[in-house]
Structures are given as C-alpha cells and as structure tokens.
Structure 1
Amino acid sequence: MKPNTLIETILPLIKRCIPRNIFRRAQPLYHFLLAFFSALLYRFPSRQIKVVVITGTKGKTSTSEIVNAILEEAGYHTAVAGTLRFKIGDEEERNLYKMTIPGRFFVQHFLRRAVTAKCDWVILEMTSEGARYFRHRFIGLDALIFTNLSPEHIESHGSFENYKDAKLSIVRALASSKKRPRIIVANADDTYAREFLAVDADTKTTFALKDAEPYTLEKDSTTFSFMGSPLSAHLSGAFNLSNMLAGISFAKTIGVSPEVIRRALEKFHGIRGRVERVEMGQDFDVIVDYAHTVDSLQKVYEVFQDARKICVLGGCGGGRDSWKRPAMGAIASAHCDEIILTNEDPYDEDPQKIISEVLAGIEGADAEIILDRRVAIATALKKACTGDSVIITGKGTDPYIMGPNCAKTPWDDATVAREELTKLGFKK
C-alpha cells in the first residue's frame, strides 16, 4: 500500500512556497487542514467502521497483533496498520516506511479500503509523532488501549511533558468521538494511567500484572490466570504478559468469550522482531528484538537472566534522544557478559560518536566495537557456546539501516543472523 503519489508531490511544494517563519507559526493550522481534507477526500471512512487505537511508549505492535489475533478468532474481519505491517482482511504487506503510519492521507485511504473490504474492526497503532502531525484527527474512535508511558522522543517534542501531551491528545480524540460506546483500556501498573483515564469515556477498564496471578514466565512461554481462567501463550517476559492483558481486557469489554480468547492465545506464536527466536539448529538462543528504550532493553535481558548473554547493541539512532545512550550502555553492562557495540541508524551523525556515548555508560563488562552490523552479529554468534543467549537489539523488523542524506541499506537482523549461522554450519 503506497501513499498518494500526487499528494506526496504537491505537499512539499506548498511548504516551500510558505516562508519558514510563517510556516512555523501556522504549522498547527496546516496539519489540521491536511487532516480534515484527507478525511474529506476519502469520505470520512471511520464513520463506517469500528476503530481501536493502541498508544503508549512500548508494546503498541505486540498489543495490536494480540488484539487482531483475538478478534479474528472471534470471527471478526480485521484491518491492522502499524510498525510491522498493513493488513486488510486476508491481504497484507510489510511496513517499509520506517514510521508507524506514513501520513494523514495514507491512514484515511487505509480506512476507506478497510470499509470497502467490509472489515468489522480497524486496529491502528498511533505514536506521539503521529499525534503531533494530527494523523489521529478526524478519525472517529471507538476504543483506545494505553500500554505505558516513559521518556522517549524528548528531543523531537522538546520535553517529556510535550511528549505526554501528544499521547494524551489521542485520548482526547476518543473523548470527542461521536461514536458510542467509547471504550478506554489502560495499564493500571503505569504511573500515568490516571491521566489517561481522566478523559470522558463510556467504559473504562484497567489491567495489571496482579490480575494474572499466579503466573509463570519461561524464556519461551507464559502461563497465567485471568478472571479465574487458566491461560497459556508462546510469548515470554512480563512485558508481553502486560500486552496480553491489554488485549484480553479489550476483548472482554466488547464481549469476546473466555474460550475464544484462550484459543487465540494458544494459536498465537509471537511477532517478528519482538523477542523473535532465530532457529537454525544451534544449541544456543539467538534473539532479535526491537528494544530501543532503556526500559525495554532491560526487560528483554531479564527474560534471559539465567543465561550467559552476548549482546549486539546499537544504542539508538542518530540525531535523536542522545540522552539515553549512556543509559543503554549501563543496562547492557548490568545484564550482559559480553557486549558488541555496532551501527544502527546513524543518519547524518558520526557512528563512532554515537557508540562512544553508549560506551560511556558501560562498566564491568567486556565491550567490543564493530561498526559493520553484519560482522558484529557474526562475531557474537561465533562467541556463543551451548546454553548462551545472543541478543540482537535495536532494529527488530526495520527494513533499512539509515545513513547520511537518508541513504538506505536494505536490512533484516533475523535474516542476517540466519545467514551467518548457516556459514557456521547450522541448518534448520
């Protein structure tokens, strides 16, 4: 699914015609008008379909896919738009845009296509950046799931408060929706849940890890209880348990039965790029994960706390959130036995500078610098022994490594790991 080529050509020309200082002041109006005209062009499609938005710092993609799995098991026809893929009914394509939702015209066109395909529900991931550019405006929301909130995109938004307010603007869109009932599902374990629950909605539901007690977290599965029903899933980590509770709580709110939820979770075998296992017959774990925040990195490492860990760490992309680089290094040194620092998405920033800032946070662990990401992954795999865990983080399913002047190098961490394991003599 591609953005509207004509519109994508015209918009930059319009922006160039507006003096920069005037555009800066008129930006909110510009984005508002684009949001309105995109909805108008596609005849306000959200009025004809149910829409649930998932927002939060982490867990959006996993929660979206869990919700989709449950709704499909319940017999609903679904559409999904997010970081991983764009799916309408039985048709899907990988998201190659390096952004969760490419633009206002894109999302309205997507909604119109979902209506045409007679989908019952659309599941949308919505980021703070998307909200900042009004991509959520003129979408009539039926429901919103809030996963969690922690510092991220601070340099882009200017402050954590601005970042939080961008997220809250999505909840305010639910409050102003003319649809009924308006449902909000929020993570009660999160400090900011009350602020998200404070908006006007017809049904407010919370979830928390204590709701799943007693639960058992294994490195490749989770068993837990919910509302008296025993459940199990092929997902690992407390963060994924929280994501499952988000999906289950939403499903219960719209009337999906416990038996359908149980079947959906048992059939669900995880998500590409999210604690993704690379299996080529080796006697050690190879894990690919998108973890790109301090908290998410720590939680991935904790899943494999009993294993000797070799981590391939990029830290974070160039030109953004430089404050977290030493913190990422500190988390790696606290949890990993060997660390290989490598390139991720430097954009126009010096990769060596990025890595040196990550290195500043590393204490008490061996750290090796290998800028070539393929060589870094290959080196980590060669170091691994029986029972070890090689954990490759930062990119997940990202399709490119972004370099200077937005140069794109096609990339896939899991594919590269498989290729390098094959060179070592492993076969699936």
Structure 2
Amino acid sequence: MNYLVIGAGNAGRPVARLLNNQNHKVIITDPKQLSDFKQDVQSILKQMEKEGVILDLGNDNPSIDGIDKVYKAPSLPDSAPIAKKVAEANLEVITNEDFSKMVNDLIPVDIIGITGTMGKTTTTFITTSIFKQAGYKVWSCSSLVNNLVSEAIIDGIVKGKAQNCDIAIFELPHGTIGLLNELDIKIGLLTNIAEDHLSEFGGSLEKYQQRKLILEKMSETFIANNSCRDIIAPVRGNALYYALDDDCDFIGTAGDEKLTLKYSKGEFTTPFHMVSYFFENSVGASSVALTYGVSPEDITDALSEFKGLPAHMEDVGEYNGRKVILDSAFLYDGMKITLEYFKDDNVVLFLDHFDTLSKRDKTEVGQLVGQYVDVIIASGFNEVNQTVEMDAAYEVLDAIENPSAIKVATRDITEAAALTFKYSKPGDIILHMGPLIAYDRITTVEKIMKGLEEGSKKYE
C-alpha cells in the first residue's frame, strides 16, 4: 500500500514511521525544509529516511500520483491546497482512530496509561519502579525517554519492545492521547487536571478536560486523584480514587521518611526518603499496582529504595557551599508545593521562560514566587522558537510585590544559572523551576550545568 503522510510534525512522524515498519511505502511531505526543523526532529527524520520513509520536504505542492491512502496532520486545514487535492481525488484518509487501533493491535500485553496536568512523568516512573521490583519485564514510555511520548511508543514497537515485555506503562500527555485514542488500557490513572495548555484548545478548560477524559473511556479500570472526583463521577460510577489524607479508596499519609497506605484490604507503611509532591504521586502509583495485584511487600521494597528522577526535586550537588536543586515545576500548584518545602531556607531562584508550546500566565508566576523568595533571576530565552523575549522575563519580575526582592532578567538560562552565585552565599539553596526541563530535558540541563560551573568559578 502506498501512503502519503501530510505534515512532518508531531503527529505525522510517528504515523509515517509505523506505516513504513508495517511494510508499506510511505512518503512524508511538509512545506518546511529539513533545516527548518529543530535539531532533534531533524535527527528523527533522518533516521526515518534510513529506515525507508521517503522525505518530501520543502514541497508546497506534493504529488498524489500512485497514492492509495493519506494521513493528514490535525493542524492541516481543509482549505489547504493539498487537502483540497486529496478530497477531489476521493482518496481514503486514515484517521487517528485508525492509527490508534493499528498501534493497539501491535501491543500484545496489558497497558497501564497515566495522564494528568502535573505529576504524570513522576507517577509513571514510580509505577515502573514498583512493577520492576515485582518482577515484571516493563516497557515504559514517558517524557523522560522522549518529550513526544507517541514517538517513544512507536520507537518501541519498531525495535521490538512490545513483543519483549510483560506489561507496558505509558505516560499519556494530551497530544499522545489525541493521536492514540483507541488503545485498550487495562488501568488508567488521572493525576489531576489544572489550567494549562489551554491555548491549544481555544482557551477552553472543558475541551482540555475532555481530551484527558479520553483515557477514562479507553480504560477497563480507572483511578483518579480525589481532587478530580467532581469531573469523573458523572461519567464513571465505578472509578477508584486516591489522595493524601482524604477519605477515598487509597489513602496515603506522609510521615517522617515514611509513607503509610490504607486501602480496602488493609494498610502498610513503607520507608520513604523523598519529599514534596513525591508522596502523592507514590500513592497514585501504588494504587495502580495494588489494583493490578502487586503485593504490598513489593511496593514497600520499591518505594523504600526510590531515589527520585532527573530534574524533579533533584539535588545535583553542592557548589561553593550552596546546595543546587533542579525542579521542573511550572504550574501554580506544583510550584507552590516546591516553594513551601523550602520556605524555611534562604533560596535564590532562577526561572525558565514559561512559554513552551503553550502560553502561560507569567504574572501569576511572579506573584507566587515573590511570596517565598527574595532573589529571582528570570530567563527571557524561548526554547521553542529560539528567540530572546525579554518581555516574558520582565512580566514575571514586574509582578513580584516584595519590595525588597532582588529581580534580575537574563538572556538565557545559562546566564541565569551563573548569576545565582553572585546573589547567594554558602548555606543558601539555589533552586531552578520552570517548564523547559519537561519540554527538552537534555538540552536544558546541559545549559543549566554549564551556567552553574561558570558561575561557581566566576563568583567564588
């Protein structure tokens, strides 16, 4: 079968790669030249070409001669010339539902799916750790593997991981759920829903919620944070709920380096050496494991050994007597949890540009951090479009109401990290927060670490 995939963006690439893997002839076309894509996307497209996908890039008027079926990127308007050409030729168009069913048929094991606005990466990681401790051979896909999780899933299928595991545990961001909306999920988990990514949904929180709730429809068993009960209960009468200290199906209680879990079959306490939001995320992960049949003993063994994950309240070491913590919190509730944890410390805070694919309320960020921190350094570099947007940094800083706060705007995150040493002293905490680590962890952490090295030498 000859396929034309229109659009080499986040939806088109995984579709083209899987179709090619299933022995179809695939052309992927896009008006952008290869050099117009980000470096990591260029690498993926080059890999696809090596595997046999034909790249037709920089073409505003692709041919449909000899094409049997077409996949159109969701962003392609019906008014586009190529869309009109496909319609006039009456070519069969495969939908996200068609593609999702194809993916589902290629995964022969139970799937656990985890979504939410905050905590899904952490919860996926902890869930994976628990199942591995219980002896399962786990195929795990999350934004720690690839920021676009759908590409990580397709990569796993192409490389045979789906055939070489006992269970699949997937983080399912809203984009991945939109593409893979017909999976058979054994257990689905919703960590929370907050106002984010709304610019991708016409500003509608309801539309964003409905995208997240696709997971509920796909799930044989569905578990949600108790904070989402008002959203879930009207559509799912048999949902299960988890929380810290709330009366529900799975109740967690945080103690001094321990976590107690109470559920229908009893309760148990595990040593737990993490802090902050890891408690609630661990309750969510444990609720999945208990529901699936993992023993409390295996959960205890996993959680007692859990050491965290990259850039989530991660202690990256001591520099010139300052402890440096990298955190990827960027939404109000998550940032508040992190800031509350350090409220008794002297913190020097450096921040990313807060817009990625979504526009965010920088004024809200400034008002929040100003309540906790006296030194705030904000970067104006937008990683998505690779431009310096100092207005974004000033929007954060101008909203800080603390009259004694030191407020500094920088052109990039490397400079921001370096300057933390100028405004700190031994014994202080240097804290990073912002969305870029979640968006592009490897590049962002490299830039931060470079700044820390430079600053620790320059201002020692």
Do the aligned residues in 1 keep the contact of 2:232 with 2:239 (CA within 8 Å)? Answer: no
* Secondary structure, counterpart of 1:272 in structure 2: coil
1:388 counterpart = 2:428:
yes
Do the aligned residues in 2 keep the contact of 1:44 with 1:108 (CA within 8 Å)? Answer: no
Identity %: 23
Once the two structures are TM-superposed, the CA of residue 161 in structure 1 deviates from its matched residue by 1.1
Distance 1:225 1:80 in 2: 26
1:115 counterpart = 2:167:
no
Do the aligned residues in 2 keep the contact of 1:60 with 1:147 (CA within 8 Å)? Answer: yes
Q: Find 1:303's aligned residue among 341, 348, 357.
A: 341
Over residues 131-160 of structure 1, what are the superposed CA-to-partner deviations in whole Å (9 max), with x where a residue is unaligned? Answer: 3xx322232111101101110011111111
Do the aligned residues in 1 keep the contact of 2:350 with 2:433 (CA within 8 Å)? Answer: yes
* Secondary structure, counterpart of 1:138 in structure 2: coil
Amino acid at match of 2:437: G
Amino acid at match of 1:396: I
Equivalent runs, 1:63-212 vs 2, <5 Å: 63-85=123-145, 95=146, 98-102=147-151, 107-108=153-154, 110-111=156-157, 113-117=160-164, 119-131=165-177, 134-158=178-202, 159-174=204-219, 182-188=220-226, 190=227, 192-200=228-236, 204-210=239-245
* Secondary structure, counterpart of 2:364 in structure 1: helix
Do the aligned residues in 2 keep the contact of 1:316 with 1:344 (CA within 8 Å)? Answer: no
Distance 2:297 2:439 in 1: 35
Once the two structures are TM-superposed, the CA of residue 334 in structure 1 deviates from its matched residue by 1.0
Q: Compared with structure 1, are the counterparts of its residues 288 and 16 closer, same or farther at alpha carbon in structure 2 (3 Å cutoff)? A: farther
* Secondary structure, counterpart of 1:330 in structure 2: helix
Kindly name which structure, 1 or 2, has the bigger radius of gyration based on alpha carbons.
2
Q: Compared with structure 1, are the counterparts of its residues 16 and 243 closer, same or farther at alpha carbon in structure 2 (3 Å cutoff)? A: farther
Distance 1:215 1:400 in 2: 29
Do the aligned residues in 2 keep the contact of 1:280 with 1:421 (CA within 8 Å)? Answer: no
Once the two structures are TM-superposed, the CA of residue 257 in structure 1 deviates from its matched residue by 1.4
Over residues 221-267 of structure 1, what are the superposed CA-to-partner deviations in whole Å (9 max), with x where a residue is unaligned? Answer: x4221123222223211x22110000111111112111111110111
Relative to total residues, which structure has the larger strand share, 1 or 2?
2
Q: Find 1:287's aligned residue among 282, 305, 325.
A: 325
| TM-align CA RMSD | 3.3
Do the aligned residues in 2 keep the contact of 1:272 with 1:396 (CA within 8 Å)? Answer: no
Distance 1:160 1:43 in 2: 28
Distance 1:15 1:225 in 2: 59
Q: Which residue of 2 aligns with 1:235?
A: 274
Q: Which residue of 2 aligns with 1:367?
A: 407
Distance 2:170 2:426 in 1: 41
Distance 2:61 2:278 in 1: 44
* Secondary structure, counterpart of 1:285 in structure 2: strand
Distance 2:437 2:383 in 1: 16
Once the two structures are TM-superposed, the CA of residue 206 in structure 1 deviates from its matched residue by 1.3
Q: Compared with structure 1, are the counterparts of its residues 252 and 32 closer, same or farther at alpha carbon in structure 2 (3 Å cutoff)? A: farther
**Aligned length, in residue pairs:** 382
Q: Find 1:264's aligned residue among 278, 302, 306.
A: 302
Q: Which runs of 5+ in 2 are unaligned?
A: 1-12, 21-25, 31-55, 63-71
Using the size of structure 1 for normalisation, the TM-score is 0.79
Once the two structures are TM-superposed, the CA of residue 359 in structure 1 deviates from its matched residue by 2.5
Q: Compared with structure 1, are the counterparts of its residues 352 and 362 closer, same or farther at alpha carbon in structure 2 (3 Å cutoff)? A: same
Over residues 169-214 of structure 1, what are the superposed CA-to-partner deviations in whole Å (9 max), with x where a residue is unaligned? Answer: 221122xxxxxxx2211111x1x3342344458x632111116565
Do the aligned residues in 2 keep the contact of 1:49 with 1:121 (CA within 8 Å)? Answer: yes
Q: Compared with structure 1, are the counterparts of its residues 288 and 115 closer, same or farther at alpha carbon in structure 2 (3 Å cutoff)? A: same
Using the size of structure 2 for normalisation, the TM-score is 0.74
Q: Which residue of 2 aligns with 1:89?
A: none
Q: Find 2:354's aligned residue among 302, 316, 320.
A: 316
- RCO higher in 1 or 2 (8 Å CA, sep ≥ 6)? 1
Do the aligned residues in 1 keep the contact of 2:390 with 2:409 (CA within 8 Å)? Answer: no
Q: Which runs of 5+ in 1 are unaligned?
A: 86-94, 175-181, 402-408
* Secondary structure, counterpart of 1:142 in structure 2: strand
* Secondary structure, counterpart of 1:383 in structure 2: coil
